[in-house]
Amino acid sequence: MAMDSELIARISPEHQRRLSWFEEHQGDVSASPGPLPGGLLLVSKPKGIYKPGDLPYALSIKINLGSPYEDGVVEQTAGGGWRLSYHQENDDPAARDTMYTNRGLMRCIEDQVPVGVLRERAPARRRSEYDVLGLAMPVKWSNGFFYFESLKPSAVSVTDPVSSPQGSLVATLEEVLRALGNLHMQDADDGLPKRHQPLTLLWAIGKARQGEDRLTPWPVARTQIEHLISMFGRPTDRPNAYLPFLALARTDLWELTAKPPPAGPGRGPDARRAWLADATPPVKGGLSTT
């Protein structure tokens, strides 16, 4: 969705003008944008997160090449939307609110106010150029990362019903729901089942719907599954992607290209995680054919 009348009614005209620039230029390639008429800045040169002094909210974020943080990877979603995670300013999650930029993004989360997003391109000239990704809503903060979902087109939730275009894959929502009901899942600290396995299955179904390869190498799968667990897992869930990646292989829904080491004395979770990390070529996993 784009900016609607309800949002426009509760932000200042100056704020609206600046957000409109990102909405109107979505899909463009731009140099670092200069100020709008009246001196209204859109980005901060020294910082990735820009919070103007005249606004209570952050206005924009830049995904810069060579960032020291493992963030800024745009994940496409069904329907043409996208998600991404973005590291807070300051390495220490406990120190989040010491930085005014982070406080500005937290205010955006609280009041549901979007920000503009720019992604730096590989330099073709001396000056930097950016893809204007448009507007995104910061929807969550967790363990030092802010999580964003695009507004236009909207990021479709991973819990939306999806079907696979690949006929050999699990093809209907009813089958998936039955399978989810048969999963053996550990309980979280709140006594409710953890979401690691359902989220991993839904991630794989989403990939299938978009026509991507059925089996995904572990290094790639790890990043994407951890991102989903951080966004949609229970508050006490740790984003241990290797657990569902391996556990699902005990069901008819999941396939691995190599067999994990058997459980036994001295072969606990750390050994299985090390096996995944060290395997050459990387172990691939994904929905099985049925």
Mean pLDDT (the chain) is 81
Asked if residue 224 lies in contact with residue 77, where contact means CB atoms within 8 angstroms, the answer is: no
Q: 38-45: which pairs have CB atoms within 8 A and are 24 or more residues apart?
A: 38/14, 40/14, 42/18, 42/116, 43/116, 43/118
Please tell me the predicted confidence (pLDDT) of residue 36.
94
Q: What is the pLDDT of residue 174?
A: 46
> What pLDDT score was predicted for residue 80?
76
Higher pLDDT, 266 or 101: 101
- For the whole model, what pTM was predicted? 0.56
Residue 63 has pLDDT above 60, yes or no: yes
Most confident of the ranges 56-65, 152-161, 162-171, 232-241: 56-65
What pLDDT is stored for residue 183 in this prediction? 57
pLDDT band per the 50, 70, 90 thresholds, residue 155:
low
Domains and CATH numbers, the chain: 5-150 (2.30.280), 173-287 (no CATH)
Share of the chain above pLDDT 90, in %: 37
